[in-house]
Amino acid sequence: MQDMTDLVQFRQDLHRHPEVSGQEAATARAVVAALTPLGPDQLVTGLGGHGVAAVFQGAADGPTVMIRAELDALPITERPGPAHRSMLEGRAHLCGHDGHMAIVVGLAQRLARRRPATGRVVLMFQPAEEDGAGAAAVLADPRFAALRPDWAFALHNMPGLPLAAVRVAAGPMNCASVGLRLRLSGRTAHAAMPDTGLSPADAMLGLIPALLALGPGGALAPGFRLVTLTHAVLGAPSFGIAPGEGEVWVTLRTLADADMADLKARALAAAQEHAARGGLGLGVSWHDDFAACSNDGAAVDHLCAALTRAGIGFAATDGPMRASEDFGRFATGGTRAAMFLLGAGEASPALHNPDYDFPDALIGPGVRAFDAVVSHILG
């Protein structure tokens, strides 16, 4: 059981030293240090930023199977609790990516002892998942073409499900989402003479409900759209100045990419209309762009057959999640992809909560599930 002891220590060390999206240099070095003694046939670093890919080659030709983990943490302060609490204030692994990395390193340990019979395995440690930039950056890296997989698999731990319970189903898995930042510019004035300025207040009061009306939410069914107000600011905090600038931040969310394109166009049109009506300047920027994530049916079939063969019980998911995940971007260029959920416990704090901590008891089940998939497809 030395492997498991080492993997728990590795996971907890990652937890102590979290790095947010785009800044995962030390995390990547820790991953490389863990992988190098295992002798992968190829080790690629700096993919799409700080991404790392370890390749384990089979004895005969065959398909390429990619297993993905994420490198990044969150810009949230962790609540005091575990001895391995984050040592960096304002940053913490509160989504479980530290555990995902430990699981994939555990798979590398098994591959080091027994290479696949055919094909090859690409273990992908992807940067910048939390802001939606990482998968796209890896795909855009010219070196990824030589690594492009036929099959791609990932997992995400899921609080609320029984510990180590596996859930998977074909079809929509995660919503598409994007952040929209709107800057309304007018002209400040003395608070005693607001009529000499140009305030964006009225425009904001009309724009916010107009945006929210575009995405009322509801059931996660075809046509689902949700617009969430996440931030708004008007002028400077002063009693002597009538405001001249304001900002509105919203997150747009849809179940399908096609609906997202339409929702973006409608939100932009609403902003332009309210700005023009108020004679205001309008600045627009887009952030945290996630494509929808959908599980390929054939990939799910492979996953379910592998789990059955390994004696790992599973059930269907309850449906797609509102939360976004950039793994879906890998399902391009002929790659067939699927993600499954691994229960983190029914009493576990929710993901992104300040007291969340990945259960180390999930490392073993995660390794066994991925190992089963690799063995099923590649032998």
Q: Is the pLDDT of residue 115 over 80?
A: yes
Distance CA 152, CA 154 (A): 7
Q: Is the pLDDT of residue 81 over 90?
A: no
Mean pLDDT of the chain, nearest integer = 97
List, as one string, the DSSP characters of 41-68. SEEEEEETTTEEEEEEE-SEEEEEEEEE
* pLDDT confidence tier of residue 25, bands split at 50, 70 and 90: very high
Distance CA 244, CA 221 (A): 41
Q: Is the pLDDT of residue 209 over 80?
A: yes
Strand positions, DSSP E, the chain = 42-47, 51-57, 60-70, 118-126, 151-158, 166-167, 171-174, 176-185, 189-190, 225-234, 241-242, 245-254, 281-290, 293-295, 314-315, 336-343
pLDDT, mean of residues 203-209: 98
pLDDT, mean of residues 70-91: 95
The structure tokens listed for 239 are 């009693």
Q: What is the pLDDT of residues 360-375, one digit of tens each?
A: 999 999 999 999 999 9
Which pTM was predicted? 0.94
Closest CA to 212 of 158, 251, 255, 261: 251
- What local confidence, expressed as pLDDT, does residue 1 receive? 44
Distances (CA, A) of 269 to 39, 68, 262, 282, 357: 55, 38, 11, 11, 42
- What local confidence, expressed as pLDDT, does residue 134 receive? 97
Q: What is the pLDDT of residues 137-172, one digit of tens each?
A: 999 999 999 999 999 999 999 999 999 999 999 999
The structure tokens listed for 185 are 């510019």
Q: What is the pLDDT of residues 38-67, one digit of tens each?
A: 999 999 999 999 999 999 999 999 999 999
The structural domains of the chain, ordered by start, are 2-172+292-378 (3.40.630.10), 176-290 (3.30.70.360)
List, as one string, the DSSP characters of 312-365. --EE--SS-BSS--GGGGGS-TT-EEEEEEEE--TTSPPTT-TT----GGGHHH
Number of C-beta neighbours around residue 251 at 10 A: 19
The structure tokens listed for 76 are 């949230």
Q: What is the pLDDT of residues 300-338, one digit of tens each?
A: 999 999 999 999 999 999 989 999 999 999 998 899 999
